Structure 1
Amino acid sequence: MNSVTAQSHPRPWQVFAALSVGVVAVFLSLSGLTVALPTVARELDASGAQSTWILLGYMLVTTALILVFGRLADIIGRRPLYLAGLVTFTVATGLCMLAPSAGWLIAARVLQGAGAAAVVTNNTALLTDTFPPHTLGRALGWNATVAAVAQVVGPLIGGAATAALGWRGLFAVVLPVGLVAIAASIWVIPRGPRKAVQREPFDMAGAVLSTVLLTAVVLALTPGVSSLWRLPWACGGASVVLAVVFVVVQIRRTHPLVDVSLFRNRGIALVLAAVLVNAVATYAVTLLVSLYGQAVNGISAVAAGALVMPVAIGTVVAASAAGSLMLRFSSRTLTATGMALNAVGLFGIALMLSPDGGSLAAIAPFLFVLGCGTGLFMTPSTSALMLTAPADRRGIANGLRSTLQNVGYLLSTALALVFATAGLSAAARQAAYGGTLGALGSGEVSRFVDNVRIVGIALALVALAGVAVCLAFPHRKVNATVHTLEPVELLEESA
């Protein structure tokens, strides 16, 4: 593992700043395209399936490689892998900006997702290596805040860039951010001593199995795949078989891709489950509200970005307060409250949707509540996980968290798009992605809005299930003296 102790780095907040720039680049690229998608679909004449893969291609590759890069980081070092990811991501961003066709853009997004995976996997682990315990909780809280803000502000920036420069403007904004991240990271992220863990072999079988497994899951759920393969159930069946084989292989490996022993700690297992549930419940909302505003109300990309801004505001407010709240309340209380707020926001959004467009302003308060729930959930859950994991397994622990979070993003997006466009004709589906559904008549619009309502209610029920998961967390509060979680107490909460 290529790491340093916090005491050997005199300016850890410089490392935080450099890592934050990389986080901003990755999450702007991930979320900024949601409001620009209708413009992309129209200008590149993308089909419904191609429009879906412009989003999911990036997410699938990122998710599939996070586990792989998490393990590699523990073996070869986090700094070199992080820098390689930043360079790959930035080069791919330039290729996205130059894309002449939907196929080119999908391929460039896949490469971009591979770079993003290396960045996401190493970000939190590098912070944990750099900061001393008494400031680590604060650093992780701010890191979660930066990621959340970049993700939820991305639609506004994407909409503004699209309005000013066309859809390529989003990538024109992300490109210099990536370049700055590379320069800053090379300058301030320290090199560390090589450790014995580097002699551990890499689990190639586990890497291949995990990648194929996640791909099969997404293919089973993705719109357009059934018409291409005509056997979507085969992908689902293959997913089940691959999951069983993967678990068996990991148990038998001396140095597995996934350290199964981490799941023997009840606290870690519950946090990871909550991360997955939270991601499924909340991620697709920004995309659905943006599509609703453009397809039903006919608003522009920049207006769609402004429409979802209450999520960003709520996230910033709650995430900023979460660090202080952790001194008074347990992670169980904070995460359960955050998940409950998510459920309230989702139910409210579903109720406010109308086939005639209704008042978009009526959705804003519920989007704000959703943002508060997201911000309140992230910081205590991330801090608890990273401080509970053994130091030489923080890379894979963070990789598991990021993988499950991205699996949740994938499931949320794929399922939301499947059910939101269910029953629509191919032309209506393409019009929904292109923001021109209103031109096809009230029947298609009503069907689309009804579908989106159903998706919103279903996601709210998922969030309620997440409340139950969070309430099962071990009851531990933050140590008010050092402003962080007590790792020893958490480690004792084993099954």
Structure 2
Amino acid sequence: MSEVSTRGAMLHPHPWRVFAATSIGVIAVFVAMSGLTVALPTLSRELDATPTQTTWILLGYMVVTTALILVFGRLADIVGRRPLYLSGLIVFTLASALCIVSQSAEFLIVARILQGVGAAAVVTNNTALLTDTFPPHLLSQALGWNATVAALGQIIGPVVGGAATALIGWRGLFVAVLGIALIATVSSLLVIPRSVGRIRSREPFDLGGALLATTLLTVVVLALTPGPGSAAWLPWSYAAVGVIVAVVLVVVQRRRAHPLIDLTLFADRGISLVLLAGLLTATATYAVALIISLYVQAVDGTSPFVAGLLVTPVAAGTVIAASAAGWLVTRIAPRTLAASGMVLNTAGVLGVALVLSADGSLPVTALFLFLIGTGIGLFMTPSTSVLMLTVPAQRRGIANGMRSTLQNVGNLLSTAIVVAIVPIGLGAAAQQAAYGGSPAAFDAAELNRFVDNLQLAGVVLGALSAVGIVVCLSFPRHQMPTPQETAPVPEYATTKESA
């Protein structure tokens, strides 16, 4: 029989089953996001999408998902987590079907935005449901594995996207996503009981904060991706508007009794550093797959399937390192382990940028991609552990939700940085060729400029990763207890001390 936790929810007698069911939903969400990086050139050609349309097919999903994570986090507290999570899965599934039948770039952008709405509800409530389901002594472990599953979903996305595109075209990606989403929906309906996530808050919903946060993210993306032929002043205007909206958002959130964004978390230096490191990791590593995909398809004319396979070393490195990190974190200070991961990330990203050229060595590139994956795997577990050790137990769900939000912000910024740098100095036809994977459409000068731009994007991401090393070394001095030092805890202990 389930027991009531100190968080007010019913503990599930088999919490890892809930974890397994929700993990399928998380994988679907992140495959839909990252899988498009290798399917994008084929999609762009077949739908005759402009560079701006191609950019928003990729970014529209990410902007909406990132903006709505905190919104749905608050709504879940009001209407219940399980209903909103399942509703998100249903919306995501239906939107994936709409992506499959899209006949124009405009229709696909709308379908992707709708898909992003469902994805936001899934990502947000996945974390909340785990917080409600797991007993206190297992929560940190579950949230750490949850972060790892999200990272793996992002990494296997290009492989799934490449294989599906090679088999049945770009729509194959969304067929695969639809299948995963259906499995997630059915398994969640069967495994997650109605008793989980039923707590409802009487606190009012911060509509103003939601609108400001959404506006801020949209303006930031518009500033980074103004589109070909835009006036030189336009990005600066968007940036100025973004600064104003950010200031207003902070002022409004500080004055709200029940704000959308809990700014008090950032008052703790340790929490702020961990969240910043997570943001930098995502920003530095996420769009490397996009850089590789654009390069091998637009320069070498490589197929989407091969392009997807080329990033598999990242997945291999992440799996190996994440498996080892759970053991290493009890023997090495978490901040040292996290910083080591960031060192590998930096070396890998800069290495990819340096070897990327018209006659670059793919085996060497694969080695650098493996370093990136290893760095991600080493960073995830210790950074999550530091966060859980720093945050009071009753605020771990909120803190992990903020971590998830900033990770998605990092993914969005990473992609926006790359798509902002790629078209620099290229004409409209060359930009179309870059996104459409058409090597024959480049002249020699434009091809060299395109490769230089990809390398510059890699260097920018690598520089951000280098900043992350310093941030990780500034983490609080926590040392995880070894198994021998940890006293046995009853599996469903629900005392006040464990809250």
**What band does the TM-score fall into relative to the shorter chain?**
over 0.9
Q: CA deviation at 1:442?
A: 1.7
- What is the rounded CA distance, in whole Å, between the counterparts of 1:430 and 1:223 in structure 2? 16
Q: 1:155 aligns with which of 148, 153, 158?
A: 158
Q: CA deviation at 1:97?
A: 0.6
Q: CA deviation at 1:483?
A: 9.3
Amino acid of the structure 1 residue aligned with 2:402: L
The C-alpha deviation readout for 1:207-237, integer Å capped at 9, x for no partner, is: 1111111111111111417728962222111
2:131 is aligned with 1:121: no
Q: CA deviation at 1:134?
A: 3.4
2:279 is aligned with 1:276: yes
- What is the rounded CA distance, in whole Å, between the counterparts of 2:269 and 2:87 in structure 1? 34
Q: CA deviation at 1:50?
A: 0.7
Q: 1:362 aligns with which of 346, 350, 364?
A: 364
Name the structure 1 match of 2:404.
Answer: 402
- What is the rounded CA distance, in whole Å, between the counterparts of 2:396 and 2:118 in structure 1? 20
Q: Secondary structure at the match of 1:469?
A: helix
CA 1:269–1:229: 2 relative to 1, 3 Å: same
Name the structure 2 match of 1:489.
Answer: none
Q: How does 1:205-354 map to 2 (within 5 A)?
A: 205-224=208-227, 227=230, 231-354=234-357
2:457 is aligned with 1:455: yes
Contact 2:9 2:195 in 1 (8 A): no
Q: How does 1:96-107 map to 2 (within 5 A)?
A: 96-107=99-110
TM-score, scaled to structure 1? 0.93
The C-alpha deviation readout for 1:226-280, integer Å capped at 9, x for no partner, is: 7289622221111101111111111111111111211122221111111111111
State the number of aligned residues: 484
Q: How does 1:4-15 map to 2 (within 5 A)?
A: 8-15=11-18
Amino acid of the structure 1 residue aligned with 2:283: V
Contact 2:140 2:384 in 1 (8 A): no
Q: CA deviation at 1:141?
A: 3.2
Q: Secondary structure at the match of 1:381?
A: helix
Q: CA deviation at 1:5?
A: 6.9
CA 1:48–1:195: 2 relative to 1, 3 Å: closer
Name the structure 2 match of 1:492.
Answer: none
The C-alpha deviation readout for 1:260-314, integer Å capped at 9, x for no partner, is: 2111222211111111111111111000011101111110000000111111111
Gaps of 5+ in 1: 485-495
Name the structure 1 match of 2:57.
Answer: 54
CA 1:479–1:382: 2 relative to 1, 3 Å: same
CA 1:59–1:229: 2 relative to 1, 3 Å: farther
Contact 1:135 1:483 in 2 (8 A): no
CA 1:151–1:195: 2 relative to 1, 3 Å: closer
- What is the rounded CA distance, in whole Å, between the counterparts of 1:193 and 1:125 in structure 2? 10
Q: CA deviation at 1:2?
A: 11
- What is the rounded CA distance, in whole Å, between the counterparts of 1:330 and 1:172 in structure 2? 43
- What is the rounded CA distance, in whole Å, between the counterparts of 1:113 and 1:483 in structure 2? 44
Amino acid of the structure 2 residue aligned with 1:164: L
CA 1:482–1:162: 2 relative to 1, 3 Å: farther
Name the structure 2 match of 1:72.
Answer: 75
Amino acid of the structure 2 residue aligned with 1:380: P
- What is the rounded CA distance, in whole Å, between the counterparts of 2:49 and 2:294 in structure 1? 16
CA 1:2–1:101: 2 relative to 1, 3 Å: farther
- What is the rounded CA distance, in whole Å, between the counterparts of 2:395 and 2:89 in structure 1? 22
2:29 is aligned with 1:29: no
Q: Secondary structure at the match of 2:376?
A: helix
CA 1:360–1:439: 2 relative to 1, 3 Å: farther
Contact 2:389 2:478 in 1 (8 A): no
- What is the rounded CA distance, in whole Å, between the counterparts of 2:106 and 2:232 in structure 1? 19
Amino acid of the structure 2 residue aligned with 1:459: L
CA 1:465–1:114: 2 relative to 1, 3 Å: same
CA 1:95–1:228: 2 relative to 1, 3 Å: farther
Contact 1:2 1:74 in 2 (8 A): no
CA 1:194–1:286: 2 relative to 1, 3 Å: closer
* Identity between Structure 1 and Structure 2 (%): 61
CA 1:197–1:6: 2 relative to 1, 3 Å: closer
Q: How does 1:459-470 map to 2 (within 5 A)?
A: 459-470=461-472
CA 1:420–1:470: 2 relative to 1, 3 Å: same
Q: Secondary structure at the match of 1:8?
A: coil
Amino acid of the structure 2 residue aligned with 1:460: G
Q: CA deviation at 1:361?
A: 2.0
Q: How does 1:81-92 map to 2 (within 5 A)?
A: 81-92=84-95
Contact 1:74 1:392 in 2 (8 A): no
Q: CA deviation at 1:378?
A: 1.4
Contact 1:125 1:394 in 2 (8 A): no
Contact 1:32 1:155 in 2 (8 A): yes
Q: More deviation in 227-236 or 49-58?
A: 227-236
